[in-house]
Amino acid sequence: MTASKLKILIVEDNMMNKILFREILSLKGYEIFEASSGTEAVRAAAQFKPDLILMDIQLPEMDGVNAMRLIKSDDKNIGLPVLALTASAMKGEEETILGKGFDGYIAKPIEVKGLLETVGRYAAAIKGHK
Ligand code: MN
């Protein structure tokens, strides 16, 4: 399996952000799946079996922290990295996010180069384990 075929689930309720993530990542050759709420994210994770999840924090129905924890509590998702998408760039925020159980952090507004570098690092690591 090549890194370009990596399946990424984008969980984002902001339409503009969702479109932007989808455009940037699908252009790079990743296979993209989408969800707009925490409950949709849990369903989509089970249905599409993504290799990587990018999860907004503030979501309708169920927030990103609870959705991430629910997804990670499933034995079938062991080792599945979930990165938080957060608008907050406050100092110390990253530690708080990681402390909640996320594997990493991508700051919004979206910065194309940084996004591709971060996703690329996970893609390479995941590819190495397949
Ligand atoms: Mn949101």
Q: How far apart are CA 30 and CA 8, in angstroms?
A: 7
**Which whole-number Å values give the CA distances from 122 to 59, 80, 118, 128, in the listed order?**
24, 10, 7, 10
The pTM of the full predicted model, rounded to 2 decimals, is 0.92
Contact indicator for 96, 117 with CB cutoff of 8 Å: no
R_g of the chain, CA atoms, integer Å: 13
pLDDT class of 3 with cuts at 50, 70, 90 = very low
**Omega before 81 within 30 of 0, i.e. cis:** no
Q: What is the Å distance from ligand 1's center to 7 Cα? A: 21
- The DSSP H or E segment spanning 1 is none
Q: What is the Å distance from ligand 1's center to 57 Cα? A: 6
Q: What digits encode the pLDDT tens for the residues 71-85?
A: 999 999 999 999 999
Q: What is the Å distance from ligand 1's center to 130 Cα? A: 32
